[in-house]
């Protein structure tokens, strides 16, 4: 807090010269005396409960073994996805390229923890969320990085190591864009088949924790990549909302475009997912979120404290509705 006040005063002095010191002092005096508008109680509550500053997703530690359920140290496996290239022009491109498309799996894990107050159980919260890349090592699916793959026993050659490094670069674009103790919304860029063409999209994941039981539900839907200076609308949605099964294991079928190969080498658009992960239940946006403003929040490129809170309330309410729950 002291540094923040100091930075504000320094800005005043730079902008206003000698008057800056006097004005900054008056401003601080007003703030201390309560003459400046104070944040509303509900706004203070939202700031304490929600974080809407985009940040990179956490990483699963290298060496973590992920089988068919939550790995050690984590309460939930959200999804483990391994790709297979077999649609579109798959039969017309080099077999090596098709095989390498399935070299790595992607995993998202979460850690839901109990809350203790005065030594008594007080519900559950979403403590951590992380993503990682892995491959099979000695018969076990293991998270690796470019720096650890050799010592962990993957022994990738030049081509596989280059694919791993490129894939790690894509991880950096995966962002957590809104979160609270019982919700996380993250955006994962991807290439998807849209109207017979490979297009840049975003898979938006919404993870919701039931504070009473600790149950974790995951929703996912596809949105077009945001254009600079423009926001999305509900009509831009590229899919229904998929309600994923717990510990989902996905075979992600890829569509191949031979036009994206040069001398047998694929471009970043050569492979595209066919659709978002298929869940236990597919929901129309209007069924899940009847109010248009909530659908707009679900599709927007960023959140405010108010829209994040409104969306979480609406999604929790919808998931509690018996005719929707799988």
Residues 97, 289: Cα–Cα separation, whole Å:
41
Check if the beta carbon of residue 210 is closer than 8 Å to that of residue 191: no
Residue 149 half-sphere exposure toward CB, CA atoms < 13 A = 22
Residues with Cβ within 8 Å of residue 87, at least 6 apart in sequence: 253, 254, 255, 256, 274
Least-confidence region, from 62-71, 118-127, 168-177: 118-127
Q: Of 285 and 228, which is predicted with more confidence?
A: 285
Check if the beta carbon of residue 207 is closer than 8 Å to that of residue 117: no
Residues 265, 326: Cα–Cα separation, whole Å:
43
Query: Helices (H) and strands (E) in the chain — how many of each?
Result: 8, 16
User: In the predicted model, is pLDDT for residue 35 greater than 90?
Assistant: no
User: Which sequence spans correspond to the domains of the chain?
Assistant: 56-319
Least-confidence region, from 23-32, 57-66, 180-189, 268-277: 23-32
What value does the mean pLDDT take over residues 104-116? 96
* Percentage above 70 pLDDT, the chain: 84
Residues with Cβ within 8 Å of residue 233, at least 6 apart in sequence: 296, 299
Residues 219, 246: Cα–Cα separation, whole Å:
11
């Amino acid at each position: 807090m002291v540094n923040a006040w100091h930075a504000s005063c320094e800005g005043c002095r730079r902008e206003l010269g000698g008057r800056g010191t006097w004005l900054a002092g008056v401003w601080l005096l007003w703030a201390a005396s309560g003459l400046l508008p104070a944040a509303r109680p509900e706004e203070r509550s939202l700031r304490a409960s929600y974080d809407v500053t985009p940040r990179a997703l956490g990483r699963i530690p290298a060496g973590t073994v992920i089988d068919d359920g939550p790995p050690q140290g984590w309460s939930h496996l959200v999804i483990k996805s391994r790709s297979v290239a077999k649609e579109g022009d798959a039969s017309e491109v080099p077999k090596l390229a098709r095989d390498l498309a399935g070299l790595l799996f992607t995993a998202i894990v979460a850690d839901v923890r109990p809350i203790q107050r005065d030594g008594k159980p007080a519900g559950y919260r979403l403590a951590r969320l992380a993503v990682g890349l892995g491959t099979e090592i000695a018969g076990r699916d293991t998270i690796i990085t470019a720096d650890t793959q050799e010592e962990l026993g993957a022994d990738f050659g030049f081509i596989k190591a280059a694919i791993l490094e490129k894939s790690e670069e894509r991880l950096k674009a995966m962002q957590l864009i809104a979160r609270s103790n019982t919700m996380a919304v993250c955006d994962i860029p991807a290439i998807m088949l849209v109207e017979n063409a490979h297009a840049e999209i975003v898979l938006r994941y919404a993870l919701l924790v039931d504070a009473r039981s600790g149950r974790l539900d995951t929703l996912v839907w596809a949105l077009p990549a945001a254009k600079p200076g423009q926001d999305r609308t509900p009509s831009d949605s590229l899919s229904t909302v998929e309600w994923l099964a717990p510990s989902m294991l996905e075979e992600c079928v890829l569509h191949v475009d031979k036009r994206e190969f040069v001398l047998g080498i694929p471009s970043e658009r050569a492979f595209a997912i066919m659709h978002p992960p298929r869940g236990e239940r597919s929901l129309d946006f209007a069924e899940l979120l009847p109010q248009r403003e909530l659908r707009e929040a679900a599709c927007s490129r960023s959140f405010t404290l108010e829209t994040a809170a409104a969306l979480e309330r609406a999604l929790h309410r919808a998931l509690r509705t018996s005719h929707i729950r799988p």
